Amino acid sequence: MKRLRGWLLLAGLLVALPILFPDNYYVNVVGAAAALHAILTVGLNLLMGYAGQISLGHAAFFGLGAYTSAILTTRCGWDPWLALGAGLVLTGAVAYVIARPVLRLKGHYLAMATLGFGIIVHILLVQTGSLTGGPDGIGEIPPLSLFGWTIDTDVRWYWVITGTLLAVVLLALNLMDSRTGRALRALHGAAVAASAMGIDTAQAKTAVFVLAALTAGLAGSLFAHQQAFVSPDSFNFFVSIELVTMVVLGGMASTYGAILGAVILTFLPELLVVFEDYEVVIFGAILMLMMIFMPQGIAGGLRALMRWPRARTARTARLTQDAA
């Protein structure tokens, strides 16, 4: 039940927002975008935060899901839900195939390999014009409908995306408290010790990589139907970097931190728009400053802040002891 407390709080907040602020652009549009990013970062955090494996190519899976939905619904006339399923199968399969060789790499080599994978997928999206529409992308993607309820307004999308987010968060929380989750955290702490304890590290890493890819694919399909338009630019190298930044900024190994990071980095450009030409410079400066002053992310910073009075008492006690 304790596990559910944070989740219920989040659910309450997400339900309350559109009721408290009806027809608000920052809730219905930016809020939905933040929730979509949060689906991606909660998934990516399973891989980065818990299993300790960096991925600089996560936008590729987001793009694979989005493009599968876009292509199958517009060119082949598939039902959107069937296309979404196909998108999940494809992203899962691609992730499974590349997981083993990629996850054998460590540190900067892993960063480079995932980055390279992301760039390759992006180039394929741009170059295979007859299938993907090339740089112009694909438009007129039909909306999703749920039990005869067509999801075609901003507020309806808000409900679908936040509902999906809540489901993904619940899954992540339960996973991390399960046997697999403990295995993953052991892997992060000390891979050799974990394998000595009988954890199949390669299999655990592959599983979490595929799971992170699946959440990204799901987010991609939703994104395609929400925007009714996809183009390669939504899935390039910068998007991958942005997702990693969200996870780190929020505080790694914290599901709520990943959500917080997504919310902050989605709202930040909206707020920086007033600075016009200075927007890019300020964004870069904020990124640097946040990492310099809060290397543990916001969740880590808050945790340290909460521990601080206790840590100080302990230190004072030790000092008095030493003096005595």
Partner 1 sequence: MSDQILQFLLTGITLGSTYALVALGFAIIYNASDVVNLAQGEFVMLGAMSAIALSAGAGGLPLPAAILGAVLATLVVGLMLQRFAIAPAKGIDVVGTIIITIGASIFLRGLALLLWGKDIKALPHFSGDNPIRLGEVTLMPQSLWVMGGTAVLVLAVHLFFNRTLVGKAILACSCNRTAAALVGIDVGRMLLVAYGLSALLGAMAGVLVAPITYTSYDAGVMLGLKGFAAAVLGGLGNPMGAVAGGLILGLVESLAAGLVSSGYKDAIAFIILLLVLFIRPSGLFGRASAERV
Residues that bind partner 1 (CB under 8 A): 48, 54, 56, 101-102, 104-109, 111-113, 115-117, 119-120, 123-124, 126-127, 192, 237, 241, 244-245, 248, 252, 277-288, 291-292, 295
Q: Which is nearer to partner 1, 49 or 142 (by Cβ)?
A: 49
Nearer to partner 1, 18 or 137 (CB): 137
Residues 69, 162, 299: CA angle, nearest 5 degrees: 115
Whichever of 105 and 228 has its CB closer to partner 1, that residue is 105
- Least distance in Å: CB of 190 to partner 1? 8
CB-CB contact of 114 with 133 (8 Å): no
Q: Which amino acid does the sequence have at 250?
A: G
Residues 6+ apart with CB under 8 A from 241: 56
The CB-of-248 to partner 1 minimum distance in angstroms stands at: 6
Min dist. Cβ of residue 170 to partner 1 (A): 26
Residue with Cβ nearer partner 1 (77 or 107): 107
Q: How far is the CB of 69 from partner 1 (least distance, A)?
A: 23
Tell me how far, at minimum, the Cβ of 260 lies from partner 1, in Å.
16
Contact in structure between 154 and 28 (CB atoms under 8 Å): yes
| Smallest separation (angstroms) from partner 1 to the CB of 309 | 22
Minimal distance, residue 63 CB to partner 1, in Å: 14
Q: Which is nearer to partner 1, 101 or 198 (CB)?
A: 101
For residues 165 and 219, the answer to whether their CB atoms sit within 8 Å is no
Cα 236 to Cα 233: distance, rounded to the nearest angstrom = 5
Contacts of 248 (CB under 8 A, 6+ apart): 48, 261, 291, 297
For residues 123 and 167, which CB has a smaller minimum distance to partner 1 in the complex?
123
- Residue 98 vs 218, nearer CB to partner 1: 98
